[in-house]
């Protein structure tokens, strides 16, 4: 019995243990953007017409040629086909039913599970095959042909293609028959059932191993060209993962000009950067830090990961022999046809290789050294090498574990003359050559930053000193400057409002925020060298870090700013604390006190354990022991500095969001538009209920230290009813009708999520940095074909005026055609675990369901909702039933069982009832955030505001206490009440006093980006990277005014005859504030 056979059953158990560990080990949140890759590989059987794995003699029936079965090499099971020949001769596979199916028409549908997409009926079949070589044959080629029979395959093939044999180890071959291999002269319509493989004439006396011959009815568009085979795939989607074109540009660095560079100084800087980077991984050796409690906690966490890594290594069943290494087969993470017991290259790197390499450098031992070196051998043998695309390099972004293991073992590898192979593999898989033609008009995918920027640096540091190394480092510096700049259009990452984009939207809890911390780390590594980033770039990174406190409550975010991971709605505590340390520290000194003070505030509340999962190489990585040391140093030096989370009103046009913050609470609203999609779901039961959160939901964070959504009564996986999102105007759907299961179709190729509206009006304007106004023109443009969740007859205009602790909410033009489900606007929904609700001063007890004609309502957190008479309010208190995705309810449970599990908890909620199929419905209410009963009663009797307009053209509110007037002008118009008399553009404005003068705040909510219909699916680069356009708006004011000081965006101004006309340039949805003085003022 072989080692693999002995360990077949334990292998499954160990890998399942590793998958569970990666989810359950603190402090990882149950739902994360990266947890899916630690579970078993995906096997898509629907499109698999035939697999031949050579596990029995029966697999050689119908095969002619010098073929035998061998246990020396294998990709699936325990054997492979060994084909050995003296003189070149063909190997022919006869009577292949799978080939016949693969060369027929794909019937249309959703062929893949990972990032599923609709494919129409078409010829899409192909071949997947693994080939192994024990030594390279530089000029050799295997020639493939298909035919109805052996004669036709030889003389008149239907398809032909070749595979270069200049490699060692396993290589994948993925061929789309029609796109990559169609022989133009073939006209025979007979079914194709024969595959012929023939070595080129110069391959006499050679041999290869073949395994996993697979015929598929759909060949993935995610396949990639490499040194062995160059495909001709159709361009139907933007592909950010092409390896070969980037590699072919590397020669540009060989003779790049280095005018003015002092080479020896640059070589010294390389040594400094290498030393700095190693310190982040291993720490400085300071004895006080080594004995500190945070480090000891991390060591205990790390030791658990190392123990799991050792079990994982044993499960690989690696065996070394004179012929090399064998063991568990490894596959690309987006290969949907792996071996049953296989795992991904990236799993092996993240769960085994990186922890063992890091452990070895802190605790040297021969057994660990041998395990790491043998696993590096196994990775290369399995196909992880320069020139190998693994079949697909799609989402090959978890390079950090491999890169950092190689960095840590660079001396051992250099001693064995193996370092260059790994350095080249890093340059290949990070697509470093693309930096030779850096297009600064195009944004960079944040996955490539968080997963690839660090490995790019390592690929340079591992080179021998040379002018080419300097040229690559300069190109890398230019790359960092570019990706740290504001990104155009829908492109990743940083936007002018400091939101951070991924998937064409503000994604504030993962992806880009991890990329931001990565950039801060690299800025720290390069600082003070001849490759340092410009101060402008460093300052932008610092500003973006600090702006995340403006977007969050404290740490928690509005879940609609968390993409398809609403349950993991924070990022500062989980991913960004190291970024603050990198930005604040230089040469072990705190040089940015404000960032240091903010870090100390956050670090005390989050605790070091919050960062532990990011302190080991995963998709993202910022260093380990040394990064923890840097965090401790920064917070220690910041002792005595005071800092509190920002208070004010903050608008985020690119996120269709605004955040109104005061000490002890925050109120965040989110909408959607032509440029900002509604919500993102996922193929793995991710965020199936979250669509209505973008329908103008206003969430109050009022409890917890730090503030949290759950402490504030909204427990998303504890009975929350997703159709009753506070502030949102929705339909009162039962929970089973709120569910959306991702289903691609012809009109929505990637499913009905990430939908764009046809309306451009959504956004906010801030006023004096304290107050603000948010408004949206809500129009659901997704047809109602799939039930009531989508409804293109659904419209509403909504606004929220934020003044101190008051929120005035208006709605008008509420329309839809749904006769079955009432349309509602939810006042609040809360658990009852930390307080009681009230109606007109009376506590709500026990089960309750009653309709009211207006009134004063209080939620359990002490927020008051004042609704004038004439509006129907329903309040319900009950044991509320809801649903939770299985992957949240039972982390690590896999795909078995129901997708949605029932959950219930005591809740109270109140909502405005607009009835079924409303026609021009409307509402008005006032929220008193963290108010008191007396004040609420007083405002109910004597409101301190007046609604001047509430219709389809404008929402205008006059606030008496502040003396300001807020305008949401949905169309160009004149004859307006108050200071603003007319506009020629839909605008958001607030006019109010500034002492004896006038403060006018204005924003154009139209981002003026490129327009892409329906949703984000297959958005082309020309749209994605099209910058937002500025617009000159004309505003007419009542009175004769002059600007107090020149404003760069004011194009022209005329005043006289008791009116003033201002023409102002507006862009990015950002607020412009103008201060005016009366012309007749002294």
pLDDT in tens, 909-926: 999 999 999 999 999 999
Helix (H, G, I), strand (E, B) or coil at 806: strand
| Residue 49 host element (H or E) | strand 48-52
Is the domain spanning 251-637 CATH 1.50.10.100? The answer is yes
Q: What dihedral angle (degrees, nearest 10) is formed by the CA atoms of 27, 33, 39, 42?
A: 180
Tokens 């538009």 locate to 673
HEC string for 147-175: ECCHHHHHHCCCEEEEEECCCCEEEEEEE
Q: What is the CATH number of domain 43-239?
A: 2.60.120.430
For CATH 2.60.120.430, the residue range(s) in the chain are 43-239
pLDDT in tens, 869-892: 999 999 999 999 999 998 766 544
Counting residues of the chain whose pLDDT is more than 70, the rounded percentage is 95
Is the Cβ–Cβ distance between 1059 and 1036 less than 8 Å? yes
pLDDT above 80 for 4: no
Beta pairing partners, 1063: 1034, 1052
Check: CB of residue 568 under 8 Å from CB of residue 586.
no
For the chain, give the percent of residues with pLDDT over 90.
Answer: 89
Q: How far apart are CA 10 and CA 730, in angstroms?
A: 51
- The reported pLDDT for the residue numbered 888 is 67
CB 928 within 8 A of CB 935: yes
Query: Where would I find the beta strands (DSSP E) of 929-996?
Result: 945-950, 954-959, 964-969, 980-983, 987-994
Q: What is the pLDDT of residue 1082?
A: 56
Mean pLDDT score of the chain: 93
In the structure encoding, which two tokens stand for residue 985, read together?
Answer: 């553009």
**Tokens of residue 391, six digits:** 């079949």
pLDDT digits (tens, 9 = 90+) for 112-164: 988 888 999 999 999 999 999 999 999 999 999 999 999 999 999 999 999 99
Just give the CATH number of 649-951.
2.70.98.10
How many CB atoms are located within 10 Å of the residue 198 CB?
21
Using pLDDT thresholds of 50, 70 and 90, give the confidence band for residue 25.
Answer: very low
Q: Hunting for tokens 């495909």 — which residue is that?
A: 231
**What's the CA gap between 966 and 797, in Å, rounded?**
15
Q: What is the DSSP letter of 29?
A: -
Mean pLDDT, range 731-760, rounded to an integer: 94
Residue 7, pLDDT > 70, answer no
Residue 2's pLDDT band, with cuts at 50, 70 and 90, is very low
Q: How far apart, in whole angstroms, are the C-alpha atoms of residue 875 and residue 852?
A: 8
Residue labelled with tokens 């500190």: 292
Flag whether pLDDT at 8 surpasses 80.
Answer: no
pLDDT-derived band at 785, boundaries 50, 70, 90 = confident
CATH 2.70.98.10 domain extents, the chain:
649-951
Q: Tell me the pLDDT band of 11, cut-offs 50, 70 and 90.
A: very low
In 452-551, where do the E strands start and end? 501-502, 505-506
CB 154 within 8 A of CB 196: yes
Give, rounded to a whole angstrom, the gap between the first and last alpha carbons of the chain.
100
Token pair of 501 as six digits: 């984009």
Residue 238: per-residue pLDDT? 77
Q: How many CA atoms lie within 13 A of 107 on its CB side?
A: 3
Which tens digits make up the pLDDT trace of 284-319? Answer: 999 999 999 999 999 999 999 999 999 999 999 999
Model confidence over 410-431: pLDDT tens digits? 999 999 999 999 999 999 999 9
Residues forming a β-bridge with 667: 660, 700
pLDDT in tens, 256-288: 999 999 999 999 999 999 999 999 999 999 999
Structure token digits, residue 346: 């990236």
Q: Is the pLDDT of residue 496 over 50?
A: yes
230: phi > 0 → left, psi -120 to 50 → alpha, else beta; which?
Answer: beta
Q: Where in the chain is the domain with CATH 1.50.10.100?
A: 251-637
Looking at the DSSP bridge assignments, the partners of residue 161 are 144
From 759, 803, 832, select the one nearest 962 (Cα to Cα). 803
Q: 289-298, 397-406, 783-792: which range is least confident on average?
A: 783-792
pLDDT at 21 over 50: no
């Amino acid at each position: 019995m072989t080692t693999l056979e002995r360990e077949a059953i334990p292998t499954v158990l160990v890998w399942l243990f590793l998958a569970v560990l990666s989810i359950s080990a603190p402090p990882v949140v149950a739902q994360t953007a990266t947890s899916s890759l630690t579970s078993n590989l995906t096997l898509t059987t629907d499109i698999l017409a035939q697999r031949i794995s050579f596990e029995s003699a029966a697999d050689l029936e119908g095969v002619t040629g010098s073929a035998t079965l061998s246990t020396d090499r294998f990709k699936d099971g325990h054997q492979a086909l060994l084909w050995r020949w003296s003189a070149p001769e063909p190997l022919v596979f006869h009577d292949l039913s799978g080939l016949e199916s693969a060369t027929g028409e794909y019937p249309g549908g959703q062929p893949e599970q990972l990032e599923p997409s609709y494919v129409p009926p078409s010829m899409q079949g192909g071949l997947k095959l693994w080939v192994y070589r024990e030594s390279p044959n530089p000029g050799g080629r295997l020639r493939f042909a298909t035919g109805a029979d052996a004669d036709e395959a030889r003389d008149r093939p239907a398809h032909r293609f070749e595979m270069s044999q200049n490699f060692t180890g396993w290589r994948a071959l993925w061929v789309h028959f029609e796109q990559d291999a169609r022989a133009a002269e073939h006209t025979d319509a007979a079914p194709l059932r024969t595959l012929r493989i023939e070595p080129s004439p110069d391959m006499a006396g050679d041999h290869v191993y073949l395994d996993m011959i697979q015929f598929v009815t759909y060949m993935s568009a995610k396949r990639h060209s490499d040194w062995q085979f160059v495909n001709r795939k159709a361009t139907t989607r933007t592909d950010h993962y092409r390896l070969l074109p980037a590699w072919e540009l590397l020669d540009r660095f060989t003779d790049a000009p280095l005018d003015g560079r002092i080479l020896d100084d640059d070589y010294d800087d390389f040594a400094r950067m290498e030393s700095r980077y190693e310190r982040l991984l291993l720490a400085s050796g300071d004895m006080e830090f080594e004995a500190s409690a945070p480090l000891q906690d991390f060591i205990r966490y790390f030791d658990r990961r190392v123990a799991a890594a050792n079990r994982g290594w044993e499960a690989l069943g690696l065996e070394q022999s004179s012929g090399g290494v064998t063991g568990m087969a490894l596959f690309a993470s987006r290969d949907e046809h792996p071996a049953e017991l296989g795992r991904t290259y990236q799993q092996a790197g993240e769960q085994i290789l990186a922890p063992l390499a890091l452990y070895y450098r802190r605790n040297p031992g021969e057994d660990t050294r041998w395990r790491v070196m043998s696993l590096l051998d196994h990775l290369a043998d399995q196909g992880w090498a320069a020139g190998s695309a693994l079949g697909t390099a799609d989402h090959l972004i978890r390079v950090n574990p491999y890169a950092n293991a190689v960095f840590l073992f660079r001396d051992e590898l250099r001693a064995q003359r193996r370092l260059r192979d790994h350095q080249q593999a890093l340059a290949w898989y990070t697509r470093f050559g693309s930096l030779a033609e850096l297009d600064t008009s195009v944004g960079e995918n944040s996955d490539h930053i968080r997963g690839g920027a660090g490995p790019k640096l390592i690929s340079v540091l591992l080179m021998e000193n040379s002018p080419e190394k300097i040229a690559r480092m300069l190109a890398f510096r230019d790359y960092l400057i570019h990706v740290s700049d504001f990104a155009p259009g829908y492109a990743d990452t940083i936007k002018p409002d400091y939101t951070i984009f991924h998937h064409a939207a503000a994604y504030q809890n993962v992806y880009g925020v991890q990329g931001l911390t990565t950039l801060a780390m690299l800025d720290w590594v390069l600082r003070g060298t001849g490759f340092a980033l410009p101060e402008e770039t460093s300052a932008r990174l610092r500003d973006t870090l600090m702006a995340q406190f403006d977007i969050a409550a404290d740490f928690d975010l509005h879940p609609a700013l968390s993409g398809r991971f609403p349950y993991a709605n924070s990022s500062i505590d989980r991913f960004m604390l190291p970024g603050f340390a990198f930005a604040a520290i230089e040469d072990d000194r705190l040089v940015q006190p404000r960032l240091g003070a903010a870090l100390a505030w956050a670090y005390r509340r989050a605790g070091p354990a919050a960062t532990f999962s990011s302190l080991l190489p995963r998709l993202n990585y910022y260093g380990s022991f040394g990064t923890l040391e840097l965090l401790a140093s920064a917070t220690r030096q910041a002792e005595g500095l005071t800092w509190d989370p920002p208070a004010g009103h903050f608008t985020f046009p690119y996120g269709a969001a605004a955040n109104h913050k005061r000490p002890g609470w925050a109120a965040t609203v989110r909408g959607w538009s032509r440029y900002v999609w509604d919500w993102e779901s996922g193929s793995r039961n991710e965020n199936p209920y979250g669509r209505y959160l973008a329908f103008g939901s206003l969430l109050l964070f009022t409890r917890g230290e730090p503030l949290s959504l759950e402490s504030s009564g909204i427990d998303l996986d504890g009975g929350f009813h997703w159709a009753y999102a506070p502030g949102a105007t929705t339909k009162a759907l039962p929970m089973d009708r709120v569910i959306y299961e991702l289903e691609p179709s012809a009109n929505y190729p990637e499913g009905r999520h990430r939908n764009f509206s046809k309306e451009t009006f959504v956004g906010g304007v801030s006023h004096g940095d304290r107050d603000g106004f948010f408004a949206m023109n809500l129009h659901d443009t997704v047809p109602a074909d799939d039930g009531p969740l989508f409804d293109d007859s659904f419209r509403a205009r909504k606004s929220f005026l934020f003044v101190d602790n008051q929120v005035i909410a208006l709605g008008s033009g509420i329309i839809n055609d749904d006769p079955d489900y009432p349309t509602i606007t939810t006042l609040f929904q809360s658990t009852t675990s930390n307080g009681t609700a009230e109606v007109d001063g009376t506590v709500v007890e026990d089960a309750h369901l009653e309709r009211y004609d207006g009134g004063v309502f209080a939620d359990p957190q002490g927020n008051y909702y004042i609704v004038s008479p004439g509006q129907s309010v329903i309040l319900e208190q009950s044991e509320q039933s809801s649903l939770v995705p299985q992957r949240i309810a039972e982390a690590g449970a896999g795909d078995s069982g129901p997708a949605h599990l029932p959950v219930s908890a005591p809740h109270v909620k109140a909502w405005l009832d607009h009835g079924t199929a409303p026609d021009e419905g409307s509402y008005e209410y006032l929220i008193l955030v963290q108010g008191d009963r007396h004040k609420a009663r007083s405002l109910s009797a004597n409101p301190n505001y007046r609604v001047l307009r509430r219709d389809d053209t404008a929402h205008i509110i006059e606030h008496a206490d502040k003396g300001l007037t807020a305008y949401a002008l949905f169309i160009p118009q004149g004859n307006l009440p108050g200071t603003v008399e007319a506009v020629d553009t839909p605008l958001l404005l607030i006019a109010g006093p500034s002492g004896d003068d006038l403060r006018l705040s204005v924003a154009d909510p139209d981002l003026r980006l490129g327009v892409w219909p329906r949703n984000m699916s297959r958005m082309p680069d020309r749209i994605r990277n099209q910058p937002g356009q500025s617009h000159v708006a004309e505003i007419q004011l009542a009175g004769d005014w002059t600007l107090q000081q020149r404003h760069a965006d004011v194009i022209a101004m005329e005043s006289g005859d008791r009116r003033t006309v201002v023409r102002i340039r507006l862009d990015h949805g950002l607020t412009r504030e103008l201060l005016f003085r009366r012309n007749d003022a002294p």
